[in-house]
Chains A and B, each alone.
Chain A
Amino acid sequence: MDRARAQLTWSLVAIVGFLTVCPVLMLALGSVSEGLTAFGEFTLDKYVEAYTDPALFDVLVNTVVFVLGSSVLATVLALFLAYLNTRTDIPFKFFFRILSIIPMMIPHLLFSVSWALLLNPSNGMINTVLRNVLGLDHAPFNIYSLQGMILVEALLDLPVAYLIIAPAMASFDVALEESSRVFGAGAWRTLVRVTLPILRPAILAAFVLGVVRSLASFAVPQVLGMPGRVNVLATHLYEMISLGFATDYGKAAAIGMSVLATSITLIYVYRALTAESEKFVTISGRGYRPTVIELGRARIPLFTIVAMLSLLMIVLPIAVLLYTSFVPYTMVPSARAFSMMTLKHWRDVLHDPLSLLALRNSLFLALGGATLGVLLSVFVGYAIVKVKSRASGILESLSFLSFSFPGIVIGVGFMWFFVQTPLYATLWALLIGYIATYLPYGIRPMASAFVQVHAHLEESSLVCGASYLTTMRRIIVPLLIPGIVSAWILMASMFVRELTLSVVLSRPGTEVLAVQILKFAEDGLWGKLSALGIIMIGVSTTLVVLATLVGARFRAAGNGG
């Protein structure tokens, strides 16, 4: 039994190690090579070339402003929302749950596009309306700017920041604040000396994760930064490798090395911070129920802000896409616009062979990739939780590594690898890349599912006289089903919308939905883009619903015996 476990663990270390270390290694090797075809001949030329590029300075400044700006904004917003939800009597608290989950379902690419449709300076809908109403001669807002990118990226990172800060706030023992009040500190001093310091690890963790995510973000700078020539590292890298330019994978790898190093460092900082934050979780349960702060007259205005945020983050993006997919060209909603509505874009998309190919490829990657990914995650989750050995420790660190992978950079690493193999320009290259990059999203739910399967549950079934197979079928699998379902849902919906890795790895014939949508965006085909975007959201929602139903079915079958 133990030997079998050790063998399993080490072979998992080999598989996960290949998936995570291989692209990093290839990136490093690529950065000291002359080019994709001249792999393996040592040179430092690419570093010199990449880091002496005069354009790099502006890119770096933009990146720092973009990353810090969006992370600070996302963290502050999350802090504000978490405080309102956990500590005040704000009405309709379910809004907060919607706010924290739904935006994760909307692909970043489509979110960025919908903001471009609303606020672009030439014919953005809100801009046009304001210009007409206020009689301005130029657009009041320009989303194609660093500020616009910061705003959109912050809204995209807000749910993640919220999910880190809100639980920390909810598990916060209110007596810690009350005691400060009793001992003479006013509300403000209590906030500064007690509340914020205790929440500091959680706040910093949210901020650091925001930095990692915005550093890796490609959709926002590509859609909103490119038109205004605001380049950040991700788009700078993309320019070096995208078809049609003078592609230079060596230079991209050289820049990518610093991005990856930064990202990995930050993820370890993040890990340390969350561990710290858990230490600060104070005794709860037996204490007095927390006093809810009565907002009084501020209740309705504050709620209005939250409702507006929900509108901005959920309703508006989808509504804009839906609307744009039906009008023949970009125009402000009006009676005339509605009378001109047409199915033309939908027909075009459904007859466009490239779009159909992309749809087919994405479906294959989502179904196949998520299934394979979950299969691997089940074994890795088992090894991490149930096998306590050095190998399982290594496995955990390895599987955590890809959490820090910026898609574009790791795509470049994979490119260096796949070019040397027959997998180049096949869907399998994308599939392997997807699983490697998104493995933590499968492993996390599986690991927590395995934590629930306490050894005693297994043992008591065996003691009751059930065979090992029956125990597996009646006890273990049913307990794992929720974990399997949520891992599959997470992976499948991420694979349907995957953009950053795909723009690097996909070649003619292996286009996927997001890549096709980005092409439409570059060509300004907003109607077709919106139709395909809605199809993408529909596919991902259908997969979520189906997986939930199948999961419920399985659990019922397991219980029925």
Chain B
Amino acid sequence: MDIRIRGVSKRYFSEGKTITALDDVTLTIASNRIFTLLGPSGCGKTTLLRCIVGLEAPDDGEIAIGGEVVWSKEKGISVPPEKRGLGMVFQTYAIWPHMNVFDNVAYPLQIRGLAREEIRERVDKTLRFVRLEGFGGRPATKLSGGQQQRVALARALVAEPKVILFDEPLSNLDAKLREETRKELRQFLGKLEITAVYVTHDRVEALALSDTIAVMRQGRIVEVGTPQKIYFDADTQFVADFIGRANLVKARVKAQEAARTLVDCGLGTIACQRRDFPVGAEVTLCIRPEFIHVVAGESGGENAVNGRIASQVFVGEAYESEIRAGAELLLARIDPDAGLKVGDAVSFRLDPAHCLLVSL
């Protein structure tokens, strides 16, 4: 089922101030894909999720799930959450502490009035699916964080909804478990015909998990695209900076060529991937640290940059170094075997394909 959101706005009133949580959001979420809402805290991503699931009512606009309008200001439609037939995994898991694992998972089926045998069968099947076989009789609160997370997933899946929503489901797990669970989740979802909407502020999670990412900021959708598009080809400085570590250099468009855009900046004249900015426009040049390949000594030619190592921090697989080039200080990763140290003269040549121009 696809989800269509049109012109949705939501405002809060708190302490005499109006806070705009959602500002005219229009979005289409494709069927049977993993769609992620990514953004810093307070950007409105959770509010949007809660509007989709029905726990909050927008002030304006329309939301349709699988072609059925579930909320509309104009048409006066407001379907309560229990009638939307969705599945959801909450940030705190919301495992009911007074029920055991089986009863937690069985709840959506019991509410739907299914026969006892069928409930047992489907709960067992779902527990097997999330690899919690034999945990049914355990008190739900006695499980580990990862297990609780899977109970929450089982409960969201057991009624076989066509849409499942995730509200930062991994944020209460420790780093290692988070990585494993992320992988697992991707596997689980890949086996099902289900549309998943996933909210997170963790860029790595978003990149690893999603088919499509929508980056949000201050109640608005800033960019929508595949993880690759968002990472390599962001349109705005905000997205480029938010999605990964980036060196941001102020630049001015000097000339446009067929496949390249030339800019002037603190590193000299740099040839970049072509972007349709007018000549003279103020832009930002974004270079990711992994594309700065540092060599010892000076070098010349197009896109060559010379500088000195200003500082180095050893982080295990590499040195994270700051390179002073003109007025700019650029972050780069240097191979520990290169034997470079602070103060050494170094240079690197930038590949125009990895010099991304973004608007301010």
Contact = CB atoms under 8 A, between A and B. Distances in A.
B228 to A, nearest CB: 31
B92 A183 contact: no
B55 interface: yes
A179 B141 CA distance: 16
Contacts of A179: 88, 90, 94, 96, 155
B136 interface: no
A180 B90 CA distance: 11
A182 B86 contact: yes
B61 interface: no
Contact of B80 (A176, A181, A282): A181
Contacts of B159: 183-184
Contact of A182 (B56, B81, B92, B93): B81
Interface stretch (A142-150, A194-202, A403-411): A194-202
Interface in B82-127: 82-88, 90-94, 96-98, 107-108, 111-112
A385 B56 CA distance: 45
B194 to A, nearest CB: 15
Interface in A439-488: none
A283 B56 CA distance: 22
Interface in A277-314: 279-280, 282-284, 286-288, 291
Given A181-B82, A186-B80, A176 B96 contact: yes
Contacts of A198: 96-98
Contacts of B167: 288
A291 B54 CA distance: 12
Interface in A176-225: 176, 178-186, 189, 193-194, 197-198, 200
Nearest to B141: A279
A102 interface: no
B97 A280 contact: yes
A184 B83 CA distance: 6
B53 interface: yes
A352 B107 CA distance: 70
A287 B107 contact: no
B172 interface: yes
Interface string B57-80: 000000000000000000000001
A421 to B, nearest CB: 52
Nearest to A200: B98
Contacts of B87: 182-183
Interface in B139-190: 141, 155-156, 159, 167, 171-172
A283 B172 contact: yes
B46 interface: yes
B166 to A, nearest CB: 12
A198 B96 CA distance: 8
Given A283-B92, A283-B172, A183 B80 contact: no
A284 B172 CA distance: 11
B139 to A, nearest CB: 10
A182 B172 contact: no
Interface residues of B, number: 34
A193 B96 CA distance: 10
A173 interface: yes
Most-contacted residue by chain B among A181, A183, A291 (CB, 10 A):
A183
Nearest to B46: A288
A530 to B, nearest CB: 44
Contacts of B91: 175, 286-288
A226 B141 CA distance: 51
A176 B82 CA distance: 14
A291 B57 CA distance: 11
Contacts of B56: 291
A186 B141 CA distance: 24
Nearest to B83: A184
Given A182-B88, A291-B56, A197 B112 contact: no
A184 B111 contact: yes
B53 A175 contact: no
A178 B93 CA distance: 11
B82 A185 contact: yes
B98 A183 contact: no
Contacts of A197: 96, 98
B98 A182 contact: no
Given A175-B90, A179-B88, A183-B107, A282 B97 contact: yes
Contacts of B156: 183
Interface in B217-264: none
B111 A176 contact: no
Interface in A104-129: none
B53 A182 contact: yes
A200 B99 CA distance: 13
Most-contacted residue by chain B among A186, A283, A291 (CB, 10 A):
A283
A194 to B, nearest CB: 6
Most-contacted residue by chain A among B111, B141, B171 (CB, 10 A):
B111
Interface of B: 46, 50, 53-56, 80-88, 90-94, 96-98, 107-108, 111-112, 141, 155-156, 159, 167, 171-172
Interface of A: 173, 175-176, 178-186, 189, 193-194, 197-198, 200, 279-280, 282-284, 286-288, 291
3 shortest interchain CB distances as A-B pairs: A175-B94, A183-B108, A179-B94
16 contacts: A173-B92, A175-B90, A175-B91, A175-B92, A175-B94, A179-B88, A182-B53, A182-B88, A183-B82, A183-B156, A194-B96, A200-B98, A282-B97, A283-B92, A286-B172, A287-B90
